[in-house]
Structure 1
Amino acid sequence: MKCAICEDKRCLRGEECRELSTFNDRRKNIEAYLEDKEDMGIMEASASVPKNIPRLEEVARYIENMSIERVGVAFCKGLHKEGRVIHKFLEDRGIEVYSVVCGNGGIDRGEVGIKKNSDVFEISCNPLGQGSVLNKLKTEINIAVGLCVGHDMLFSKYSEAPVTTLIVKDRINSHNPIEALKNL
């Protein structure tokens, strides 16, 4: 599959793509959506959110459309201020919000086998712990805020609730990774 470099994009006009049909059965996808109420609910709620609003508002509207009551925010310690703003923004909308910092549990890097730069305590991120805490709090959706590459994957892997990413960490480009593409 090479959709990113396809010039035709027949599929976006509702036409069958010869290359895609080898890997993906359109009819089975449709049936799967129609059979799974949870997946269909996600699709419907997503489709009903306006696309001309900021991502934070889009996430909030999605939460409201899904009648979600308990939301988790897993954030990087480097984006603590942003985590606080998101937490309060959602809470002010009447949503029950729980937030967990990446360094939760106070694990030293050496304890998990990560090379240390000195003998003093060096905090290790704990994405498994973030997922575990939010699982125990029975969140219905979790929001990733600036988690490191790899840590975001582990958080998603261990989260029992669906995960959406609100902020992607990119220290060089003010957390806007698309900026790096402009120079390629």
Structure 2
Amino acid sequence: MSSKKNYQCHRCLGVWEKTGRTSCSAPPGKIKAPADCPGQQQELIHECFDQYCDDTEQARLAQVAARVEGLCYQSDSDEQSVHPRWTRVEDTIALAKLMGYQTIGIATCLGLLAETRQLSEILEAQGFDVVSVCCKAGGIDKIKLGIEEQDKVRPGHYEAACNPIAQAAFLNESKTDMNIIVGLCVGHDMLFNLHSKAPVTTLVAKDRVTGHNPVSVLYGQNFYYKRLKKSPLKVD
């Protein structure tokens, strides 16, 4: 039985800050890799990488994603620096076009229908067919999940449960070429990914407090969110 690995890539930040690169982002042999670097597992690395180099749809997706990554930056005239020029929406459109996708599904949160309408109008203007399904489709009360009334957002009231498996089923039925998540809850997004037949990308990660910008919590660690490093989050 192989031993459990404990990779810690986040600890290479110190190397990055000192050299501007890490062992995995520099030419081979330029920067020494730490002992627990996943890059040391060359057999596994190449076994996985080989899957991008055949004629499967998975390999084509990897190749197109790499092309889109290159397209979304522009270099200075002296090529000493690069600048991003595309938003995530534009990246998504470019990938869909290069993959030859036609029908795009959107698994949306009820609370982001306005954003989903805007996204749909953009995608349709770009020549795609759009299908969208709301998280509350069917309107079954949360109590039927087996939770207690007190676990609702507003105990004592009718409250529709999210149904991400149904969202995936409806989009599967619509034969979408790719699906976009717009604001599904943590956990519901996992269930949607598990059941979607089409490849899935997330455009909006739900964060009610930060205006759906969850990374802002990481930027705010020295201020308000410093508490997350000091005290356990209470869930009861």
Scaled by the length of structure 1, the TM-score of the pair is 0.92
Give me the whole-angstrom Cα distance separating, in 2, the residues matched to 1:123 and 1:26. Answer: 44
The residue number in structure 2 matching 1:30 is 49
Aligned residue for 1:128, secondary structure, equals: helix
Q: Which is greater in Rg?
A: 2
The residue number in structure 2 matching 1:105 is 138
Give me the whole-angstrom Cα distance separating, in 1, the residues matched to 2:211 and 2:64. Answer: 30
2:188 matched to 1:148?
no
- Distance apart, 1:43 and its partner CA: 1.7
- Distance apart, 1:155 and its partner CA: 0.6
- Distance apart, 1:23 and its partner CA: 7.8
- Cα 1:152–1:24 change in 2 (3 A) is farther
- Cα 1:22–1:41 change in 2 (3 A) is closer
| Equivalent residue for 1:127, pick from 152, 164, 170 | 164
- Cα 1:75–1:60 change in 2 (3 A) is same
**Unmatched runs of 5 consecutive residues or more in structure 1:** none
8 Å CA contact 1:128, 1:154 repeated in 2: yes
- Distance apart, 1:183 and its partner CA: 1.9
Scaled by the length of structure 2, the TM-score of the pair is 0.73
Give me the whole-angstrom Cα distance separating, in 2, the residues matched to 1:119 and 1:173. Answer: 28
1:1-38, Cα deviation, whole Å (9 max, x unpaired):
11111144211114374532348623222322112521
Give me the whole-angstrom Cα distance separating, in 2, the residues matched to 1:137 and 1:174. Answer: 31
The residue number in structure 1 matching 2:195 is 158
8 Å CA contact 2:52, 2:63 repeated in 1: no
Aligned residue for 1:98, secondary structure, equals: strand
1:32-89, Cα deviation, whole Å (9 max, x unpaired):
2112521221122212222220111110111111110111000101111001111111
The residue number in structure 2 matching 1:48 is 67
2:24 matched to 1:5?
no
Amino acid aligned to 1:64: K
2:28 matched to 1:15?
yes
- Cα 1:14–1:62 change in 2 (3 A) is same
Give me the whole-angstrom Cα distance separating, in 2, the residues matched to 1:68 and 1:154. Answer: 23
8 Å CA contact 2:52, 2:60 repeated in 1: no
**Unmatched runs of 5 consecutive residues or more in structure 2:** 1-6, 16-21, 73-84, 222-236
2:101 matched to 1:95?
no
Give me the whole-angstrom Cα distance separating, in 2, the residues matched to 1:153 and 1:125. Answer: 13
Aligned residue for 1:160, secondary structure, equals: coil
8 Å CA contact 1:116, 1:122 repeated in 2: no
State how many pairs are aligned.
Answer: 184
Aligned residue for 2:165, secondary structure, equals: helix
Amino acid aligned to 2:101: I
Higher relative contact order, chain-length normalized (CA < 8 Å, sep 6+)? 1
* Greater alpha carbon shift after TM alignment, 28-37 vs 74-83: 28-37
8 Å CA contact 1:73, 1:145 repeated in 2: yes
